[in-house]
Chain A
């Protein structure tokens, strides 16, 4: 049972344009959401997070939006740069029980073209 879903396995975007990566979740106990970025031969690195009490969090070129009623979050990268080409994982966590572990999506491979 995939509780965190990233339905687009890949995305190609032109340099300078906006990249939008989407993520859906099913567990209503999740109240903290994160995005990780992974380059080949490296472990994932934390990018940005958002708590369920907010609907938007910004950090430089990266913005995460959360729509709790739709159980949906998205990561916007503006402007996209070639160095952003990587696999992006959405993750979610809650405070108790099985939700307290970090649950990851299957990842979206972003390619930013010159």
Chain B
């Protein structure tokens, strides 16, 4: 069974631009969660989608948004990029919603904002 895939793997953007990251979950998984990883901050939860509905949201500004499609694929968008948005963005899929279900992570998208 194919794992979680994320595209692109690496991205360089300029301050003020916007970016869209994509995540394809494991087949049959209906929940997709997004995390931001930065040095010293660990994995910070961004949001979770299940059956195209946002089920939970972390403490990030409204510049961070996401969506999920009917095939469970998910995208996250960051508008008006800031230098502090440079991070590894990880996507995880699971069978069900919430932390009780084992989450399978993709390799991440490394975003650099200059």
Contacts and interface: CB of A to CB of B under 8 A. Distances in A.
Nearest to B110: A41
A46 B93 CA distance: 12
A89 B42 contact: yes
Interface in A54-111: 89, 91-95, 98, 100-107
Given A9-B40, A44-B90, A103-B45, 18 more contacts: A6-B42, A41-B107, A42-B107, A43-B92, A43-B105, A44-B43, A46-B104, A91-B99, A93-B98, A93-B100, A94-B99, A98-B56, A101-B48, A102-B33, A103-B99, A104-B44, A104-B45, A105-B42
Contacts, number: 64
A26 interface: no
Contacts of A104: 35, 42-45
B103 interface: yes
B8 interface: no
Indicate the size class of the contact surface on chain A.
Answer: 20 to 34
Interface of B: 4, 33, 35, 40-45, 48, 56, 58, 90, 92, 97-100, 102-108
Chain A CB within 10 A, most for which of B43, B99, B106: B99
Contact of A46 (B35, B102, B108): B102
Contacts of A7: none
A32 B105 contact: no
A106 B41 contact: yes
Nearest to A105: B42
A104 B108 CA distance: 16
A9 B33 CA distance: 25
A10 interface: no
A45 interface: yes
Interface hub of A41, A46, A106 (most chain B Cβ within 10 A): A106
A100 B42 contact: no
A91 B44 CA distance: 11
Contacts of A49: 102
Contact of B99 (A100, A105, A106): A100
Contacts of B102: 46, 49
